[in-house]
Amino acid sequence: MTTFNDLGLAEPILKALVAEGYTSPTPIQAQGIPAILSGADVLGLAQTGTGKTASFVLPLLHRIVEQASRPEPKTCGALILAPTRELAAQIADSIRAYGQKVRHSATVVVGGVRPFPQVRNMARGVDILVATPGRLIDHMQGGAIRLDKTTTVVLDEADHMLDLGFLPAIRQILASLPRDRQTVLLSATMPKPIRALAEDFLNNPQEIAVAPASKPIERIEQKVLLIERDAKRQALVDVLRDDEMDRAIVFTRTKHGADKVTKQLEQAGIQAAAIHGNKSQSQRQKALDNFRSGRTPVLVATDIAARGIDVDGVSHVVNYELPNVPEAYVHRIGRTARAGKSGIAVSFCDREERPFLRDIEKLIGKVLVEREDDGPAPRKQSRGGGGRGQQQQQRQPFRPRGEGGGREDGRGEARGFRGNGNGNGGARKDKPAGHGQHEGRSDGFRGGQQQRNARPQGAKPRDHSGERGRVRSFQPA
């Protein structure tokens, strides 16, 4: 078995690894560390939770020990680009932990915080600069940092930066670097734009592929519950109150959804905190710190924060809403079963999310739950035309293979539609009688307007010629 001693790392780094409890490298570390130490460009394909942060941080620290030189003012020896503030902060934590016995300087440059402390830290020059692309470009344009002395650049989670629209900024940053440099690109997936980026900026890279990026690690037990949307709230409470639940991350698709779920959990007596792009950096860091320490056992997050959460001991990941990008499913559930432990991933799937489930199963090559179909929900329509005569349209409850229909208490059915777009709508099922009339919807989109404009029997028109807009009304004959 390969050990860190076999990789040629400097003695201070080996002592720090022992202090942190690490003895054997993971596959990405065993392959990536020698490749980066050789000075070659590296193209790495590894899914989340495989230890790839150490695979580039350790060689960078080793190089600092060997060179024993200080960077010039307003320069950095190595640049690490990360897609999110959370991931950048955690990379900095790894640098601090692995470099605890190495004299080095490192700083983090991200948005959402005051820029002046960052400018002050970069003014002296740093060995390692960890940055998000947008804020780095701001500092470059302001003259706070220049990259002409940078010898190594690492692009971590390159595919996630692509998803966030950072590709033009990354190209601008790479174009500002010296031609004679080492470039390391790490990604969980390899879409065509990332492959094109590698071809443009990497020189004869050593390619390292540790596991298919579309395959979740085997230690994760995956479960899917086919339930209606209105049943998700109680189902989430039941999962989080399970005796086996120690620490959980709940994923939603939207920021508003994250806040809403957090509020519902607190109402149910479960302590939770939300983390997403609308939160300030201090709020996000406080939520992560409380989650890491165990003071807050449940963290509700969006996909933008998914890859920035690197916390050991997460027993459960819950997909409250399935992601519409199948690769995001792999990244989400990769928050559990870290550091050699096992984990549980529970996903809630309502009927509208069935296509997302089908795409996820196609990506990972595994059927997660047996079911009869993935088609649209059947609709019931009564005889007759539109207006008030048409009955409420309803979605049918799920009937998974080998299971009953909806919930036993009859609450499994979803709300009806407001209308079918041709004026033949019905009142919403979840609104009290008369509420639809107030919204102008109970008679259909057009029916109510036609009734309001209808001429009463026996009425004759009266012309208000002196009024604005020449409004016409009717009065009895």
Q: What is the pLDDT of residue 86?
A: 86
The average pLDDT across 66-81 equals: 95
Of 225, 83, 252, residue with least CA distance to 155: 83
Domains in the chain: ranges and CATH: 4-209 (3.40.50.300), 220-373 (3.40.50.300)
Three-state DSSP at 164 gives coil
pLDDT category at 339 given cuts 50, 70, 90 is: low
The average pLDDT across 321-348 equals: 87
pLDDT category at 375 given cuts 50, 70, 90 is: low
Q: What is the pLDDT of residue 373?
A: 66
C-alpha dihedral, 354 to 356 to 359 to 361, nearest 10° = -70
Helix ranges restricted to H, 132-254? 133-141, 158-163, 167-175, 192-201, 232-240
Token output for 278: 């609308």
The pTM of the full predicted model, rounded to 2 decimals, is 0.65
Report the C-alpha gap between 446 and 444 in whole angstroms. 6
pLDDT digits (tens, 9 = 90+) for 448-465: 444 444 444 554 555 544
Percent of the chain whose predicted confidence (pLDDT) is above 70: 75
Q: Is the pLDDT of residue 433 over 80?
A: no
- Report which of residues 443 and 218 the model is more confident about: 218
pLDDT category at 371 given cuts 50, 70, 90 is: confident
Distance from chain centroid for Cα 468 = 54
pLDDT digits (tens, 9 = 90+) for 80-125: 999 988 889 989 999 999 999 999 999 999 998 899 999 999 999 9
The answer to whether the CB of 169 falls within 8 A of the CB of 194 is: no
CA distances from 85 to 69, 81, 308, 323 (A): 29, 10, 7, 21
Per 3-state DSSP, what percentage of the chain is helix, strand, and coil (rounded to 5)? Answer: 35, 15, 45
Percent of the chain whose predicted confidence (pLDDT) is above 90: 56
> For all residues of the chain together, what is the average pLDDT?
81
Q: Which residue has the tokens 């390692």?
A: 128
Q: What is the pLDDT of residue 47?
A: 73
Q: Is the pLDDT of residue 150 over 80?
A: yes
- Report which of residues 338 and 440 the model is more confident about: 338
CA distances from 473 to 26, 454, 457, 461, 466 (A): 81, 10, 13, 6, 13
Q: Which residue has the tokens 């003014």?
A: 123
